[in-house]
């Protein structure tokens, strides 16, 4: 297990506050780590992730949606910065996408209170 995998395991997966997690390489061509409901993403063709590469480039979040077809869920973005975004599904499931030096991390969870913990975790990955 690499050091970044250990950080992911120790800081977020073992906290049991998330439902799923996936790490995509910097060029969004490969899922290099996955957990929980996002575990099956490692088997998805990389082309399904290519639309994520420009998601942080746009300035508006009006009517922005993210589709994760393998878990049959659509998310509506409710907050976006230059390096992360938070979205919610009609079923009140949350999704955070965040960029960090290795690539992009996707995290799913069910409690809005988890957002702060996830942001702190992603800050650690960015160091």
* pLDDT tens digits, 1-48: 678 788 888 888 888 899 999 888 877 568 888 899 888 775 554 456
Question: What is the rounded average pLDDT of the residues 52-61?
Answer: 59
Q: What percent of the chain lies above the pLDDT cut of 90?
A: 22
Architecture of domain 3-126: 2-Layer Sandwich (3.30)
* pLDDT tens digits, 69-99: 667 788 888 888 888 889 999 999 999 988 8
Residue with tokens 């973005």, as numbered in its chain: 77
Domain range list for the chain: 3-126
Residue 43 and residue 70 in contact, taking contact as beta carbons nearer than 8 Å:
no
d(CA 52, CA 117): 23
Instruction: Measure CA 89 to chain center.
Output: 14
Instruction: Measure CA 127 to chain center.
Output: 18
Task: Tell me the two tokens of residue 58.
Answer: 């746009």
> Which residues are bridge partners to 33 per DSSP?
23
CB atoms under 10 Å from CB of 69, counted, come to 9
pTM of the model: 0.83
Q: How confident is residue 55, by pLDDT bands cut at 50, 70 and 90?
A: low
DSSP state of 18: -
């Amino acid at each position: 297990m690499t050091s970044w995998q250990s950080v992911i395991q120790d800081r977020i997966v073992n906290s049991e506050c998330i439902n799923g997690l996936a790490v995509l390489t910097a060029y969004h061509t490969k899922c290099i780590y996955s957990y929980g409901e996002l575990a099956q993403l490692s088997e998805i063709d990389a082309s399904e992730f290519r639309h994520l590469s420009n998601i942080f480039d746009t300035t508006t979040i009006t009517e922005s949606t993210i589709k994760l077809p393998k878990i049959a869920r659509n998310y509506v973005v409710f907050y976006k910065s230059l390096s992360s975004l938070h979205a919610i599904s009609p079923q009140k499931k949350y999704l955070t996408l965040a960029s960090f030096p290795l690539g992009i991390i996707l995290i799913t969870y069910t409690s809005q209170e988890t957002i702060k913990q996830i942001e702190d975790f992603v800050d650690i990955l960015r160091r």
